[in-house]
Amino acid sequence: MSLILARLLHKGAEKPSMLLRRDYLELCLLQNGKSNTTKFVQGAIKKIKKDIIFFFNEQQQTKVIFSDEVDEQQNITEDNVCFVTPIEGVTNFSRALPFFAFVIFLQKISPKGENVQACLIDFPALNHTCYAVSREGTWIKDTAHDCFTRVYCPQFTKIDTPISCTNEYKMPPKGITELNVGSATYCIWALISNKVDMIHTKNMDLATKKSAQLLIQEYKKQYTREND
């Protein structure tokens, strides 16, 4: 079941990733021309939603819920459901900055009646993908070289100069070097790739929040809901 879910996630992400990569390159040109990119970004999101509905809803009979169209307090009872964020880090995307991602969180009931979860975060402009399957682990993929690596939480050691990553633009705490990237998904990728020692994220949408919990849970790091 876990292998089937992983393949399903990658198949479902293929076209949205390709569309976002193409639109990102076009946005680079629009930025050079000082054009207003709002309508372009809205169009990109609309295309991704259409493709996701076709793949998961019509072909896989899985209910699709977009993060910008659902109340987080809403009680969702479906067994087979897919939560999607078309573009996380939309401000970065609109300014042709590469720190944006496409997010899928999938929840299904296995033939044995078990609740199985899987998620995928794809960074089209950076050629990186990270994904996880419940009780199986977390992986990162270099899409440029089609190289998969399973990641593990390193043994804890005292760090004199810790590096943090945040999606907020603010002054970091004293004694901490902090990267302000404007994207919660990039913070998550940096953590499980062991590029940073800690992350601090705020205002994550539903699909990103669920994916962060699963990715870090399977990576065996403690996940804190502070300020969320």
Could you tell me if 177 and 115 lie in one domain? no
CA distance 134 to 36: 42
Residue 148: per-residue pLDDT: 67
CA distance 120 to 13: 8
Could you tell me if 26 and 106 lie in one domain? yes
Q: Which two tokens stand for residue 209?
A: 């929040």
Residue 224 covered by a domain? no
Residue 149: per-residue pLDDT: 78
Residue 228: per-residue pLDDT: 41
Domains of the chain: total: 2
How much is the mean pLDDT over the chain? 84
Could you tell me if 87 and 144 lie in one domain? yes
Among 187, 188, 191, 198, CA closest to 159: 198
Could you tell me if 41 and 95 lie in one domain? yes
Task: Give the model confidence (pLDDT) of 27-46 as tens digits.
Answer: 988 876 667 788 999 999 99
Q: What is the CATH number of the domain that holds 127?
A: 3.30.540.10
Residue 156 covered by a domain? no
Confidence of residue 223 (pLDDT cuts 50, 70, 90): very low
Could you tell me if 125 and 55 lie in one domain? yes
The better pLDDT of the pair 32, 212 is held by 212
What is the side-by-side order of every strand in the sheet holding 198-200?
Answer: 177-180, 163-166, 198-200
Could you tell me if 167 and 55 lie in one domain? no
Q: Name every residue whose Cβ is closer than 8 Å to that of residue 202 and which is 6 or more positions away in sequence.
A: 167, 168, 184, 227, 228
* Helix, strand, coil share of the chain (percent; to 5): 35, 25, 40
Domain end position, chosen among 151, 180, 204: 151
Residue 75: per-residue pLDDT: 60
Residue 13: per-residue pLDDT: 93
Domain limits for position 193? 163-219
Distances (CA, A) of 107 to 8, 54, 63, 75: 12, 18, 10, 15
Task: Give the model confidence (pLDDT) of 117-170 as tens digits.
Answer: 999 999 999 999 999 999 888 999 887 666 667 776 766 566 677 888 888 876
Among 185, 4, 211, CA closest to 110: 4
Q: What pTM, to 2 d.p., does this model score?
A: 0.87
CA distance 88 to 93: 9
Residue 175: per-residue pLDDT: 65
